[in-house]
Structure 1
């Protein structure tokens, strides 16, 4: 599913109006009818119910006025509170305001404190509030009477449906512009906006309903939108067929270089995740003094001792063994738990200059490469990096707050400057390709904020690359599966007590469910032919 920015959505609307001759009032009416459909489906309003509509002066307010009309004509008790001077309402919104007035829909204006008090009285016995104050284009802080009304609605704890986006949320990046409506449901038009998917906007959005309003089918492509997210169906459709005659070589060979004293768990999780995601063979390169531990811990993963001089940490002399390890591999996952020794940097620096297979770089691998990020551009093969905000800060020289505030922009810029695929981990993980594509991941939960979770993700991505997925697709699908497995683990164990091993154990179940879904769709498609 395509994800757009507010700017792209404005161009889409403008194109529909100017090039295709679809009047703006028609788009507004289509939007209103779809909002009414969602309200009826979710709330099944009766005549005795009471609905308050909060409308601003712009097109978002016009949508709200049109919704109010349709609800009123169904016999439901509805009252409109307009947060604007009447003369300030124009265009298509004015058309709907005039209709509401002629129909006799109860209408009040909110201009001062006394009007806010009247609104509070109406909210005390309300069934539903429709929020249509601000749309996705909001870019200034919410202040004055608008802030008072939004804070009042939030204090009243009444069910809220937001039109297009909760008022106060920035549609471009999900920031709260001072204060914002906390909606239970949000109905957006045509495509989800970035602000719906990025936190904190995602928290304020509630359940997101994406509805069609009669836009030309090529709208997103025509304006060059490159953002996307995946439904479960769409993610399942990305899965590659596993041929019945396949053998372990068919499903790829993964080399993992990971671990140091005290960090053997990271190595185990990454290596097992590569197997659990479907790779045929996985070999773990581990410091020699830790090899016996890993051979006891891992049954299905092969191990390769690497020179450590008894320190429990990789040494420069391990380089030749690492190069030998990756000679027959399809992908190298390197970094989890490797430690801070300067020797690790030297091994990493020489690897990037001497092999051409795909590399998935994570954790300590990223911390070391931050000393010289030019090495990323010198690697002959594809590179996927999977930083969390702290690691991204070290790579870019920015602080963590800057990364968290603008994750898409930071990840996109770094991807384009270095030519690598960037998976920036977070509550909404984003995956950026050097060509500008950006994926917004919506699976997962806070139970995954636990040590070792990222190591599992590294192994999943490497496992997918070994099976023949393009590195960007592997990162996108890896993020989805990782989060989906986390959701299944949370269902089984609860979020508070989850550990990374729970996510690892749920990966095969997540893939099973997705392959079953794909099979169902294939069966459905064959019946249509």
Structure 2
């Protein structure tokens, strides 16, 4: 993908997901599984378990959080020691099953986010996805504040939590303005917020067909080997 790569707005991203789950034949479970696997692979490529084994997964209440739960399972199987902070759990079958899968693998959950951030080696931010709308509500006000302050490397799922999917990071002085993750994993296609991100940027969208990509106006990169993610060049497009 070149610097002029196409970005999916929040509205278009939702519409594309709807198409993938209708004429595309995918279920939500399948898309979440593929997204979570992509994120786990991006973590492995950026910070392998030999160097940063302890991973704190901060999961929000929606699909982004579900992606994080799937990633936690794969990270456990990849040799990491994941611990999950999941304070707002929807009582839905899909999410309950993801929690059960983690419990069966002896993955720990924590209620102490302050201690968890202190003790971890790295963080996976799976709080808010492309449907995020402010204001940020508790307990995530405190969590975003911690992410602004931490020196631990952070990988964000799809967009950095607290950023607007279309306009990017919050304005100076607003909550989240100081949060800049080290790694971003865009899912399906980059969102406009990615224009403001200059760190290591992966794309996880190997499940998208050439026909759907052409219909929605974006190109598919060449994924290496059996990888579910590919690193994208920094977008030097002027904002």
Shorter-chain TM-score: which interval?
0.7 to 0.9
Find the residue that maps to 1:3 and give its secondary structure: coil
1:170–1:195 CA contact under 8 A, matched in 2: yes
Where has structure 1 moved over 6 Å in runs of 4 or more?
A: none
Which residue does 1:283 correspond to in 2?
none
Q: Which has the higher helix share?
A: 1
**Aligned 1:316-465 pairs, distance under 5 A:** 442-443=235-236
Which residue does 1:147 correspond to in 2?
141
Is 1:165 aligned with 2:159?
yes
Displacement of 1:165: 0.8
Post-superposition CA distance 1:143-184 (Å, at most 9, x none): 332111111122122100001111111112214284234210
- Alpha-carbon distance in 1 for matches of 2:44, 2:235: 26
**Aligned 1:15-414 pairs, distance under 5 A:** 15-46=19-50, 49-84=53-88, 86=89, 88-90=90-92, 92-109=94-111, 118-176=112-170, 178-180=174-176, 181-197=179-195, 202-203=196-197, 206-223=199-216
- Alpha-carbon distance in 2 for matches of 1:27, 1:56: 17
- The number of equivalent residue pairs is 218
Pair 1:51–1:139, CA change in 2 (3 A) = same
- Alpha-carbon distance in 1 for matches of 2:214, 2:168: 23
- Alpha-carbon distance in 2 for matches of 1:36, 1:132: 12
Which residue does 1:432 correspond to in 2?
none
- Alpha-carbon distance in 2 for matches of 1:206, 1:168: 17
Is 1:12 aligned with 2:16?
yes
Which residue does 1:281 correspond to in 2?
none
Find the residue that maps to 2:210 and give its secondary structure: coil
- Alpha-carbon distance in 2 for matches of 1:94, 1:18: 24
Pair 1:176–1:123, CA change in 2 (3 A) = same
Instruction: Give TM-score, length-normalised by structure 2.
Output: 0.81
Displacement of 1:221: 4.5
Where does structure 1 lack aligned partners over 5 or more consecutive residues? 110-117, 232-440, 445-478, 484-529
Q: Over the residues paired in the alignment, what is the CA RMSD in angstroms?
A: 2.7
Displacement of 1:215: 2.1
Displacement of 1:132: 0.2
- Alpha-carbon distance in 2 for matches of 1:49, 1:41: 13
Find the residue that maps to 1:141 and give its secondary structure: coil
Find the residue that maps to 2:102 and give its secondary structure: helix
Displacement of 1:93: 3.4
- Alpha-carbon distance in 1 for matches of 2:94, 2:212: 22
Where does structure 2 lack aligned partners over 5 or more consecutive residues? 222-233
Between structure 1 and structure 2, the one with the greater Rg is: 1
Find the residue that maps to 2:119 and give its secondary structure: coil
2:49–2:79 CA contact under 8 A, matched in 1: no
> RCO (CA 8 Å, sep 6+): is it higher in 1 or 2?
2
